[in-house]
Each structure stands twice: as structure tokens, then as C-alpha cells.
Amino acid sequence: MNKTISDIASIAGVAKSTVSRYLNGGSVSENTRRKIEHVIKEHHYVPNTFAQSLKARKTNIIGTVVPRLDSFASSQTLIGIDEELRNVNYHMLISNTSQDFEREIEAIYNFARQKVSGIILLAAQVKEEHLTAIKECVVPVLLVGQQHPDLHSLIHDDYKAGYMMGRHILEKGHRRIAYLGVTEKDISVGVRRKEGFKKSLEGSSCYVQYYETGFKMTDAMVTTAHILDEYDPSIIVCATDNIALGVMKAASVKQIDIPRDLSVTGFGGYDVTEIVHPALTTVQFQYKEAGKRAAQNIVRLVREEEIEDVTMMDFVLHDRESVDKQ
Amino acid sequence: MNKTISDIASIAGVAKSTVSRYLNGGSVSENTRRKIEHVIKEHHYVPNTFAQSLKARKTNIIGTVVPRLDSFASSQTLIGIDEELRNVNYHMLISNTSQDFEREIEAIYNFARQKVSGIILLAAQVKEEHLTAIKECVVPVLLVGQQHPDLHSLIHDDYKAGYMMGRHILEKGHRRIAYLGVTEKDISVGVRRKEGFKKSLEGSSCYVQYYETGFKMTDAMVTTAHILDEYDPSIIVCATDNIALGVMKAASVKQIDIPRDLSVTGFGGYDVTEIVHPALTTVQFQYKEAGKRAAQNIVRLVREEEIEDVTMMDFVLHDRESVDKQ
DNA sequence: CTGAAAGCGCTTACAG
DNA sequence: CTGAAAGCGCTTACAG
């Protein structure tokens, strides 16, 4: 495991350039090929990747910057990226930033030092510093989950998802609606979903109140208490599954029966939404497929092939038990 | 970003060895220090890690082999490892094997090629090939979640957890018990938990039936149907939270009220267990802390400091709503 | 087909 | 404190 190409060469009685050629598929006579092959097997020789990369001045590594490891969306996306990258002979390197902005920027520079050939960026917001870092590092970047005019990106169709959800609950007869969203700093989740939702309601005779809460389930539980105090909606449309779960928990604490007394919907399509009782009506995004697609796109970018500026992923609306017919 | 140490040296008008010395904290006069600093800043110079590692013949990278990315236990452990490693100036590299044995072995060799200074192995089973790979790669390894005589390991106290769970449900008055376990190939989950549980029941007057199912929620749902057909337990003790959720789902489908008609418990302490209704009685393992501890241990191993062969992590039993008093 | 040599970007004794 | 030189393990023209 600690032999070098020179060792192998001298044991096999050839020049190291010949071994290198053997390794890289250059022309080698059948005879020397066998000799080298044998020596390599015997000594379990594996080339030192650093030396290789130093020469090549690039790697077949794609760095992925991820805000958190413990979310369904993140892990599914990562799995997709990893699987697809493996298919095309690339490796994935993960850098978790724990939702810390500084670390995100740092991660980009670190990846550049490690000479990754491309970076997939899962970020909730793209700031000036991101752009600067990307420019300085001269490395292809694919933004996933958000959109930005200066960057190639891959997004879920949040607007349409919001729209479809609106149509859906309207069809179910709901007219007193609470929409429980998140900060507008998050364009996809905070703005797009809500905008799509609003749009679907245009011209209908319903009444909507908009609320904002945090991403955590506990935040949602607290906010739900407020909502229920001041307003009596027939349904709470939540911007994420997590928030919806918080609403459900808050309701169960208050002995409010879902969906009889109150309907709830989410967005995301997390596995749990099927498990909880009642099963949650939600929009399921295709995270794993998005990951695969992201991998394909970044590799194209690395190879300087053309890709569309924005790749849009589809979704599925699951009509389940948490919404009652009014 | 693409300048080399030579560039910096010539621009600053010094030798590259001086720049290197500056970079590595060697003695440099105040004057040259300023010059170099200025040039580096201006050109955004960052040393090439490959060249560095090539010289150093090692890195400050710890490779982590993980069977899956989409489990609560995995992600929490990874987060813990990452956080702690960052504190001690190491980096984490993740290799996901999607529970594919071949890939696990491959990952070890790959990490070795990349000259990681240590490997943290989250594996359900340790086979001969693992040991061979580890031996050949001459790299420190820490096994997490399982135990093996030839390896340093960090484990959760599954035996004691099983034992405590047994005591707990006995105290609650349960006497007709079903234990829904998993394959004994998984020593921690399949054997230890069950053994501890069995032990706690010794001398008590209860009746227990042991069943086996897969790790997936859907497997558990199917098995639960069988159990309920042939046996009428007052409680089903499940080897994992996932399985317990499957049981709960199966029960809700059959209109069986939990905990009134049937009690359920899990192991793991996943976040969802608090969300579902009724909240699940379970043992919460300290995954994140385990990750941190694992990071500390592997670094000690890398530095050739002493650590105990087996590090045992503690747990907390959460007494919640899914278990009824009999 | 094969080998000697140069060079990738760094670090580390060794002189001065 | 500073610089010239050698070397880490590989690859790639260039000759032969």
C-alpha cells in the first residue's frame, strides 16, 4: 500500500514511465503488461492520488456544499448526487455548513484548494460573497434549490406546487384559510410557494390570512396556538412538512381532531408524512432525482458542455387524509 | 487563485522557501513578512493542497464510511463527527456505501489512496475483507456502532438499553409481550438489544414471543399483521423506532387504538418519535455525542495516543404515551 | 514499444 | 533571517 511507482517499476524491471503508461492505458507490449500487472497485484499498489492530481492539476471530484445533513431534502439530494456521480466516474465530497453563512463561503474556497472540478451548492440564499468566491475560484458551480441570474441552477417548481395546492384545497371546499409560511429571505420556500398559492386563489371567494413562522416544528407549534386563538380557519396550509407536523402536534395537544375540526397540508413529501396519523396531504418534490440531475448538470458544466440556465424539477401532489371535504 | 508559491515568491522578491516558511509559521523577518502577506492577499493565493499533501505524505482528513445518508442515526453521527473534527482542525470526508458491502471495502481503499490520516467506519457487520483492507492500508480505524475484537470501537450500550426497556414495560404491568427484532447478523441491534431485553425478563412471570422483521417500516407493517393474527400481546417491543412506527401505522389501519388496545415501544430516539401521536416510548441514543466522541478518538489514534478498546455511549429512556399501564 | 528527463507545487534540511 | 537544491509520486512530451 505504500509502494510507489518507482518501486513497482524497478521490481518489474521497467521504467516508471512504462508503469505509468500501463496504468493510464497507453501502449505497452503484452509481455511487459503481464509483468507489471503481476507486480502491482502482488504488492497491492495503488497510485497516490495527490501526485496524480498535482500533475493533472484537476481531479474528478465534485464538491457539494450542504447547509445541513439532518433534513430529508438534503440527504435525498446528496444520495442522488452521489449515485449519479459514481456512474460517471466522479467522486462526491461533502461539506456541511450547519446553516452557517461564513462556513459556506469558506467551503467554496476550501473546495477550490482541493481542486475539485465542480461545486454543487445547496444554499438557501445567494449573497454577494458567494458570487465573489465563485468568481475568484474559477470553478463551475451549480446552484440547487434556489435560482440566481448569475448562476446555473436547478430548482423545484415551487410556484406551480403552491398553485396546485391552492387549487386542490379550493376543490375540497375550503374557504377560510390560513397560510403558514416562512421568511421571504428564502426565495423558494418563502416567496415562490406563497406566490403560486396566492395566484390560485385569485377570483375565488375565499378568505385567507397569512402567517409566518420558523422552520422548526416547535416554532410552528407556538405559531399555531396564536392562529387558533385569533382565527378559526378550516385549513392551515403550511409551507413545509415540518411546519405541518408542528401544526398537527399542536392540534393534538389541544384535542383538535384533524381533519374533522381542522385540515392541514404541507410541502416536501418527507417520508414521515405518510406515517403520521392522519397521513398528510402534501406536495412531494423529487429530491433524489434532483440530485441525479444536478450531478449530470455539473459534469456537463465541467466538460464545458451547454446546459440550460434553469433546470426545473417536477413534483407530485399527494391527496391524503389530513384534508377534509367541506 | 491559480498562482503558485513561485509566483508569489518572485512577485514579493524572495525565494519560495521563504514564502513556504511564512506560510508554515517559520521564522521570517518582520519586513519580508509584510511583503509576502501583502502579495498573498492581493493575489488571493491559496496553497495547493495536493502539493502539500504530497510532501507531507499525509493529510488532516478523516474519512468516514457510512452505510446510508438517510437515517437519523447516520446524519446525527456525521454531524457530531464533523463538528468535533472542525474543532481540532481536521476535515471530514464522507463516503456513502448505500449498504453495499463491496462499496464499503472499496471506500476503505479509496480513502487510503487519498491518504486520509484515519477512518471512521460505521458498519453493521465487520467481515474478513474489512480487516484485510484495514491491515493493508495501514491506517487507523475506529469502528462506530458495532464492536470487534481486532478494532477500536465506539458503541451504544444496546444491551443495557434492552435491559432497561424490559424493566420499564414490566413495571408498567405488561405480561403478554411480543418482541419484534431484526436479523442477528446485526450484532448491536439484532443481538445485544434482544439479549438485554431477555435478561431483564428472567424470573418474571411474563410470556414473550420473539419475531423478526426487516429494517423498513413496510416490513414491520406486514409482520405486525401476522403477529396480531396469531397472538394477542398487550405490547410490541420493537428493536428500532422505524419498526415501531410501522407497527403503529399497521395498528391505525386496523383501527387498533394505541396505547389502549396495544402498547408499542422503540429504540433509537428519532425526532419523529416525539411528533407522532401517541408519542413513542423509546430509548434515545446519543448519536451526535457519539460522533463527537468518535472524532476525538480517531484523532487520538492518529496521533498514536492511547484510547480504550471500547468506548461506551450512554442513552436515555423516554417514557411517553405509547405504553399503557396494565 | 520503451526509457530518460523535466516538471506539477510544495516543504525541508543544509549552508550561508 | 534567507536562498539554492533536492525530493514527494506521478505524467507527459521527446527520443530512440
**Residue A21: CB less than 7 A from any atom in strand D:** yes
CB count, 10 Å around CB of B210? 13
Distance from CA of A148 to the nearest CA of B (A): 24
**Residue B5: CB less than 7 A from any atom in strand D:** no
Q: What is the mean pLDDT of chain A?
A: 92
**Residue B113: CB less than 7 A from any atom in strand D:** no
Across the strands, what pairs with B78? Answer: none
**Residue B4: CB less than 7 A from any atom in strand C:** yes
Given pLDDT bands bounded at 50, 70 and 90, which one contains residue B296?
Answer: very high
Residue A258 in contact with residue A286, Cβ under 8 Å?
A: no
pLDDT at A1: 56
Distance from CA of A202 to the nearest CA of B (A): 35
- DSSP alpha helices (H): ranges in chain B? 5-12, 16-23, 30-43, 49-56, 72-87, 101-113, 128-137, 158-171, 193-201, 217-230, 241-253, 272-275, 287-302
pLDDT at B244: 96
Distance A8 CA to D10 C1' (A): 13
Provide the CA A158 distance to its chain's centre, in angstroms.
14
Provide the CA A136 distance to its chain's centre, in angstroms.
24
Distance from CA of A93 to the nearest CA of B (A): 6
Per-residue pLDDT tens over the stretch B246-279? 999 999 889 999 999 999 999 999 888 988 888 9
What percent of chain A clears pLDDT 70, i.e. is strictly above it? Answer: 100
β-strands A91-96, A61-66: how paired? Answer: parallel
Q: Which three cell numbers stand for residue B170?
A: 414490566
State the best of B115, B277, B288, B322 to mutate against chain A, taking most chain A CBs within 10 Å. Answer: B277
Distance, CA of B285 to CA of B155 (rounded, Å): 10
pLDDT, average across residues A220-247? 95
Per-residue pLDDT tens over the stretch B158-200? 999 999 999 999 999 999 999 999 999 888 999 999 999 999 9
pLDDT at A136: 82
Nearest CB to A50 within list B50, B82, B217: B50
Distance B269 CA to D9 C1' (A): 48
**Residue A87 DSSP label:** H
Q: Do B112 and A1 touch (CB under 8 A)?
A: yes
Residue B233 in contact with residue B205, Cβ under 8 Å?
A: no
Distance B18 CA to C15 C1' (A): 15
Per-residue pLDDT tens over the stretch A261-280? 999 999 999 888 988 888 99
Q: Which three cell numbers stand for residue A85?
A: 456521480
Distance, CA of A246 to CA of A243 (rounded, Å): 5
pLDDT at B308: 96
Across the strands, what pairs with A120? Answer: A64, A142
- DSSP alpha helices (H): ranges in A24-100? 30-43, 49-56, 72-87
DSSP SS3 for A64:
strand
For strand D, give the nucleotides within 7 A of a protein CB: 1-5, 7-13
Q: Which three cell numbers stand for residue A23?
A: 496504468
Q: Do A249 and B277 touch (CB under 8 A)?
A: yes
Across the strands, what pairs with B66? Answer: B96
pLDDT at B85: 93
**Residue A316: CB less than 7 A from any atom in strand C:** no
Helix (H) or strand (E) holding A142: strand A141-144
Q: Which three cell numbers stand for residue A125?
A: 440564499
Residue A237 in contact with residue A169, Cβ under 8 Å?
A: yes
For the CA atoms of B54, A87, A300, A47, what is the dihedral angle to 10 degrees?
Answer: 20
pLDDT at B152: 97
Nearest to A59 by CA among A10, A112, A22: A112
Res B208 pLDDT > 90: yes
DSSP codes joined into one string, B25-61: T----HHHHHHHHHHHHHHT----HHHHHHHHT--SE
The domains located in chain B, with CATH, are 5-47 (1.10.260.40), 59-156+287-313 (3.40.50.2300), 158-285 (3.40.50.2300)
pLDDT at A3: 83
* Minimum-distance residue to D3 (CA–C1'): B15
Res A233 pLDDT > 90: yes
